[in-house]
Structure 1
Amino acid sequence: MSKVTGDAGEWYTLSQFAFAGVAAAKMPDNWKEYDLILDFEGRLSRVSVKTRRRTEKWSSAPWFNFDDRQNNVDIIVFVLKADTSLESWVVPFELALEHARLPSPTARDRWSRDMHLATLQSELSCFKDRWDLPTRFDKFVERPVTPDIPSHAEQLAQLKAGKR
């Protein structure tokens, strides 16, 4: 992937959040861990953007790669650019970690995770084009259940059912 493709994915993501009513800013190039910062009603979220172009070579092994050491990331956005279309998934980072392939025990980069396109299109399909995600969720992490804050599992079930 080229820097131009990566930058285009970040600017695309920034604009989509803005159209969804979420204030967003791009971080300087090579900022550690995340690419964008979001501010929705005083809640800050850090976003990592992973962009791929659908090429013949990539289509034979359609993976997005990301670093599992990104401890400060709240949301990861996967952007796929095909010839005439764009697809994107706005996924809570913790769920991306849960659904990504772990590196092999002999891998040189033990921190590198792989997200398969098929996983995004099936198990995580409810996150496709969810630019409103920051407006619908508190920080998407497991926490004790209280009457006014649904648990992580309840929030995911509500999202899948279209209730959030």
Structure 2
Amino acid sequence: MLKAPAGANPIGMGTTAPRRYTTKQMGDACEMIVAAELTLAGIPALKVPDNWPGYDVIAQPFDRPAQRVSVKSRTFKRGAAYVGYNDYDQFDWLAIVLLPSEEFKARAIYVVPRQEAERLARRDKATSKTAAERYFRVDQVPDLFATWNANFHLTMPHW
């Protein structure tokens, strides 16, 4: 039987153990977590192949067309750490997965409609090389997107 490494927490709660995975492995795992949570919420979903343009997960609600989900993951950190996407990415939902750290003890997943992400995103000036980038400070994500925490039913607001 396999045992968890010393100091590791198998259910995703805070840990002080060194990270034992690459950034790519972390991203793939977070994409699979989002697909699994959507499926368990009654919206069948699957991770698309690596390097698929514009999104990472495709979900099929029973009452709507297929929904494209872009998954972004970061370990929680205060200060100048960002999570973002490019304006030209084609997706309907942005899933932000925040992984535990010393100060952020539990994993959190925010599944946000694109129009809300666009409304709240920081942007660089239109004349800059990074004008197509949209981003959020990692330590502001829990407050910015509190409404969208664990939104695995892909619920739209009543705007």
TM range (shorter): 0.7 to 0.9
Aligned to 1:89: 110
Contact 1:100 1:116 in 2 (8 A): no
Q: Tell me the TM-score normalised to structure 2 length.
A: 0.75
| Consecutive unaligned residues in structure 2, runs of 5 or more | 1-21
Larger RCO (alpha carbons 8 Å, 6+ apart): 2
Shift of the 60–120 alpha-carbon distance from structure 1 to 2, 3 Å rule, reads closer
Q: CA deviation at 1:105?
A: 4.5
With over 3 angstroms needed to count, the CA separation of the structure-2 counterparts of 1:73 and 1:13, relative to structure 1, is same
Q: Residue 66 of structure 2: which of 29, 40, 44 is its match? A: 44
Work out the number of aligned pairs and report it. 134
Q: Give the structure 2 partner of residue 61 of structure 1.
A: 80
Return 5+ residue gaps in structure 1 as ranges: 138-153, 157-164
Greater share of residues in helix: 1
1: CA distance between counterparts of 2:140 and 2:118?
12
The equivalent of 1:75 in structure 2 is 93
Secondary structure of the structure 1 residue equivalent to 2:122: coil
| AA in 2 matched with 1:44 | A
Instruction: Determine helix, strand or coil for the equivalent of 1:17.
Output: helix
Seq. identity, % = 27
Provide the TM-score with structure 1 as the length reference. 0.73
Letter in 2 for 1:62: A
Please tell me whether the aligned partners of residues 78 and 138 of structure 2 are also in contact (alpha carbons under 8 angstroms). no
Q: How far apart are residue 2 of structure 1 and its match?
A: 1.4
CA RMSD of aligned residues (A): 2.0
